[in-house]
């Protein structure tokens, strides 16, 4: 069973308590109406999808309910680190 550390609860917990929420550190444009269709499409749909180290957003859905970020290796599925939302990219 895969264990994920919630940075708020400060516990390693089973993955079934968590929900993947996409790539981390995707900032919403300040003025979406000023973007071209291509720029808006890129913001909505284009993601890095790397092989290896990946910054991801997760939610402790069946625990504290809070969103946090994690660095996970997409090949080995191992979590390198988890950190609170709002902290700089690791």
Two tokens, residue 79: 């979590």
Please state, in angstroms and rounded to a whole number, the distance separating the CA atoms of residues 31 and 52: 33
Shortest CB 83 distance to Zn ion, Å = 13
Shortest CB 19 distance to Zn ion, Å = 12
Q: Which is nearer to Zn ion, 6 or 70 (CB)?
A: 6
**Which residue ranges make up the site for Zn ion (CB under 5 A)?**
6, 8-9, 60, 63-64
Q: Which is nearer to Zn ion, 13 or 40 (CB)?
A: 13
Please state, in angstroms and rounded to a whole number, the distance separating the CA atoms of residues 70 and 12: 13
Closest listed residue to residue 72, CA positions, set 17, 21, 28, 27: 21
Please state, in angstroms and rounded to a whole number, the distance separating the CA atoms of residues 1 and 74: 16
Q: Which is nearer to Zn ion, 64 or 85 (CB)?
A: 64
Shortest CB 10 distance to Zn ion, Å = 8
């Amino acid at each position: 069973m895969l264990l994920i550390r919630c940075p708020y609860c400060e516990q390693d917990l089973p993955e079934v308590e968590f929900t993947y929420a996409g790539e981390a550190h995707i900032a919403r444009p300040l003025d979406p109406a000023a973007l071209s269709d291509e720029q808006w499409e890129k913001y909505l749909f284009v993601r890095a999808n790397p092989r290896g180290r990946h910054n991801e957003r997760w939610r402790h859905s069946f625990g504290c309910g809070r969103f946090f970020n994690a660095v996970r290796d997409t090949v080995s599925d191992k979590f390198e680190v988890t950190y609170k939302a709002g902290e700089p990219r690791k």
